[in-house]
Amino acid sequence: MGVGDHYPQPLLSSIPVVADYSYHWYFKMYHDVAIPSRCVNGWVSRSWKITDIQYPSQLIVYTCFSGHSSQFAGINMGAFPDGHAEAVSFDRLFISTLGGQPYNLDWTRMGALGRDVK
């Protein structure tokens, strides 16, 4: 993934239309971890390799927000580094380090090295 992947890209060179991405990786995937506090360090950018991920089946790297409707209240439509996607109920999520909200997965304890799903 390069810098250009974070901006709308032209669909075709002959059509002057751009498509915004509907998914983004959480903040924790772009930043280092402050080891003493075990929190995401928002001041230090970092690239992670898939081999760095210690809990690939328990770390949600992005969410499909189209699933946030009254029909799916209390559910996180998560995608995981191991390639699976899952509708995870909030009671199965660890509370984030910022604000104590289970649905704010930008701030997972230990960041990309941690886990979101119990």
Note if the pTM is more than 0.75. Answer: no
Q: Are 89 and 74 in contact (CB under 8 A)?
A: yes
Rounded distance, CA 34 to CA 36, Å? 6
**Residue that the structure tokens 């995937």 belong to:** 29
Which range in 10-14, 33-37, 101-105 is most confidently predicted, on average pLDDT?
Answer: 33-37
52-91 pLDDT, tens digit per residue, is: 999 999 999 988 766 555 666 778 888 999 999 998 888 8
